[in-house]
């Protein structure tokens, strides 16, 4: 029986409050305002690799600033994720313009954001890259808790309970 973990390390469950900003300091996302902490299992790929790396070795209550480059974030934009589709795939009453965003569906049924990259005649080129691809991300994280993962959580590869996975 090992002692309860006090620092962020592989195999423990960590709760965080975070604010994510872009290079201009603009807030992109945050769970600080009345939200529950986000829970993740360290080493299971639950969060961005660059963010997890910055939290390793930190303790409950620590404030961590992490600058995450695209390679450890959402990656660089990839040309193969630009796809030409017929204009008829879009609502006829909408004036399709570059930069417009639609909700699409991936082949396995997940909702994915789709951005219009170009419009040329009857062909619309859509961009299926993650909206944050190519961006350096600036996180400010407060570690709200560190605890031992249950055997079930370790087996599933994600935390259960508040801020975690619900089945
Ligand atoms: Zn589970």
The token pair that represents 112 in the structure block? 């994915």
The label of the residue with tokens 């030409």 reads: 84
pLDDT of residue 64: 98
Range of lowest pLDDT (19-33, 54-68, 105-119, 151-165): 105-119
Query: Ligand 1 centre and the CA of 66: distance in Å?
Result: 28
Contact assessment for residue 8 and residue 147, using Cβ atoms and an 8 Å cutoff: no
pTM: 0.82
Query: Ligand 1 centre and the CA of 155: distance in Å?
Result: 8
Cα 26 → chain centroid: 17
Task: Give the side-chain half-sphere CA count within 13 A for 52.
Answer: 19
Task: Look at the alpha carbons of 43, 46, 52, 56 in this order and tell me if their dihedral is positive or negative.
Answer: negative
Query: Ligand 1 centre and the CA of 79: distance in Å?
Result: 35
Task: Give the side-chain half-sphere CA count within 13 A for 81.
Answer: 15
Query: Ligand 1 centre and the CA of 152: distance in Å?
Result: 7
Per DSSP bridges, beta strands 38-41 and 63-68 are unpaired
Query: Ligand 1 centre and the CA of 69: distance in Å?
Result: 30
Where residue 102 falls among pLDDT bands split at 50, 70, 90? Answer: confident
């Amino acid at each position: 029986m090992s002692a309860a973990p006090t620092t962020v390390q592989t195999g423990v469950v960590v709760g965080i409050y975070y604010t994510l900003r872009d290079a201009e300091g603009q807030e992109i996302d945050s769970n600080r305002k009345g939200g529950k902490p986000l829970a993740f299992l360290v080493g299971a790929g639950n969060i961005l690799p660059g963010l997890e790396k910055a939290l390793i070795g930190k303790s409950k209550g620590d404030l961590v600033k992490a600058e995450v480059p695209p390679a450890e974030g959402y990656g660089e934009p990839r040309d193969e994720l630009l796809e030409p589709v017929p204009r008829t795939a879009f609502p006829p009453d909408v004036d399709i313009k570059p930069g417009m965003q639609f909700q699409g569906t991936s082949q396995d049924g997940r909702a994915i954001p789709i951005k219009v990259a170009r419009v040329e005649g009857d062909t619309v080129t859509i961009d299926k890259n993650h909206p944050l691809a190519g961006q350096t991300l600036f996180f400010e994280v407060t570690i709200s808790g560190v605890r031992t993962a249950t055997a079930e959580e370790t087996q599933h590869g994600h935390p259960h309970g508040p801020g975690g996975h619900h089945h």
